[in-house]
Amino acid sequence: GTVLRPDDLDRAAAAGAVFAVSPGLTEDLARAALAGPLPLLPGTATASEMMRARELGFTAVKFFPAAQAGGPAALKAVAPVLPEMRFCPTGGVSAANMAEYLALPNVFCVGGSWVAPDAAIAAGDWHAITVLASEAVGRAVKTA
């Protein structure tokens, strides 16, 4: 799930999470994550947010919402000026366009709800989710 406040990190850790993601980054959340129980992948959408995340100690960030924030072209544009930053695009990423993102040297992974659709989760259809995840891994391997 998504963390929004420092106390969400503790709840996520107690639930068994091994890392956390957030749609954005606040100073309070950054401090808690850097001192706390879980690694955090904070969300960024603009160069200013990326620079702020870097100042706060994060060089791996979520790029969210990726499609609405400029997609692969935006990540390609920031690569020369923020060479140490690495991204996990989410939001508008799909099986159809994930290869475009994964082809970029500053993208280390992608995220997308197509891998675990709400209907499959609600139905407990773990086989369908496993198939979708396997297909996504297969596409990612072909990109590498």
∠ CA(110), CA(42), CA(44), 5° rounding?
Answer: 80
Angle of helix 27-35 versus helix 6-14 axis, rounded to 10: 40
Q: Is the pTM of this model over 0.85?
A: yes
pLDDT tens, per residue, the chain with 144 residues: 699 999 999 999 999 999 999 999 999 999 999 998 899 999 999 999 999 999 999 999 999 999 999 999 999 999 999 999 999 999 999 999 999 999 999 999 999 999 999 999 999 999 999 999 999 988 887 766
pLDDT number for residue 144: 62
d(CA 5, CA 36): 12
For residue 2, give the 3-state DSSP assignment: strand
pLDDT number for residue 1: 65
The domains of the chain, with CATH numbers, are: 42-115 (3.20.20.70)
Nearest of 138, 130, 86, 95 to residue 113 by alpha carbon = 95
pLDDT number for residue 100: 96
d(CA 11, CA 109): 25
